[in-house]
């Protein structure tokens, strides 16, 4: 997702105007509020850099996620009885509570209906869906929803595993703690799909429909 600013202080993307100048002013104000001197040499260009970086990180805010899968046409197939998966798709998103990154990988499983998506399109979907402020839970739901809407599959399971910078800032000892979320649609069995993924029957997944989270417990 390349961003091409149309001028020095802003650009339009879809129906949304991104005001890089106003964003840089806000970063400058934040630095002052936190006791820094934004005019000192090391920070002089920081507000502009930060605003451009956030603009890139948020460039998926108004994206049509389904179109990522359907642009150029779906691949019509003979009925596929099994499950199709693309796993270990890396992503980097932004926690909407702290505006800090969370990063990890996505495993996307689906049981196709009459169409399948190219694997690279699924990776593109994950990458674009990640480019906005959101909770990890919402990212998984957005990916599952786009798969469900665009492909009409019999079922979808999206498993996200990520480390969160906001956790690391508060508690460096927990920096590598992985948050795991599951989103699903349709008839795919979450426990069967993820048990297959791990290939480790001693790992038990507890799926909480209400919170869309699972916890893993070693039952051996
Ligand atoms: Zn956070």
Instruction: Enumerate residues with CB within 5 Å of ligand 1 (an ion).
Output: 95, 97-98, 166
Between residues 13 and 159, the one the model is more confident about: 159
CATH 3.30.1130.10 domain locations along the chain: 65-218
Q: Residue 169, SS3?
A: helix
Ligand 1: centre distance to CA 211 (Å): 17
Ligand 1: centre distance to CA 116 (Å): 34
Ligand 1: centre distance to CA 169 (Å): 10
pLDDT at 55: 96
Ligand 1: centre distance to CA 99 (Å): 7
Ligand 1: centre distance to CA 197 (Å): 28
77 membership: H or E segment, kind and range: none
Rounded Cα gap, residues 128 and 86, in angstroms: 16
Closest alpha carbon to 1 in 158, 180, 130:
130
148 membership: H or E segment, kind and range: helix 136-151
Rounded Cα gap, residues 189 and 8, in angstroms: 50
CATH 1.10.286.10 domain locations along the chain: 11-57
Question: What CATH class is the domain 65-218?
Answer: alpha beta
pLDDT in tens, 26-80: 999 999 999 999 999 999 999 999 999 999 999 999 999 999 998 877 777 777 7
| Mean pLDDT in residue range 121-135 | 97
Beta strands across the sheet bearing 203-208 = 133-134, 84-95, 101-111, 155-164, 179-186, 213-218, 203-208
Ligand 1: centre distance to CA 33 (Å): 21
Domain 11-57, CATH among 3.40.718.10, 1.10.286.10, 3.30.420.40, 1.10.150.120: 1.10.286.10
């Amino acid at each position: 997702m390349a961003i091409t600013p149309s001028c020095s202080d802003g650009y339009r993307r879809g129906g949304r105007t991104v005001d890089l100048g106003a964003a840089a002013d806000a970063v400058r104000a934040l630095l002052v509020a936190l006791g820094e001197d934004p005019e000192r040499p090391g920070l002089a260009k920081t507000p502009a850099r930060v605003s451009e970086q956030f603009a890139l990180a948020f460039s998926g805010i108004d994206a049509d996620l389904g179109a990522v899968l359907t642009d150029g046409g779906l691949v019509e197939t003979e009925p596929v009885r099994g499950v199709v998966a693309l796993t270990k798709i890396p992503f980097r998103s932004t926690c909407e509570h702290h505006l800090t990154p969370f990063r990890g990988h996505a495993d996307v499983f689906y049981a196709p209906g009459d169409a399948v998506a190219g694997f690279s399109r699924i990776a593109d979907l994950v990458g674009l869906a990640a480019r906005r402020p959101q909770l990890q839970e919402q990212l998984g739901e957005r990916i599952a929803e786009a798969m469900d809407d665009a492909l009409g599959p019999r079922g979808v399971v999206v498993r996200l595993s990520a480390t969160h910078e906001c956790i690391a800032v508060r508690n460096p000892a927990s920096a590598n703690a992985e948050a795991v979320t599951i989103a699903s649609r349709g008839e795919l069995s979450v426990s069967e799909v993820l048990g297959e993924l791990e290939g480790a029957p001693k790992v038990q997944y507890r799926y909480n429909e209400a919170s869309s989270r699972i916890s893993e417990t070693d039952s051996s």
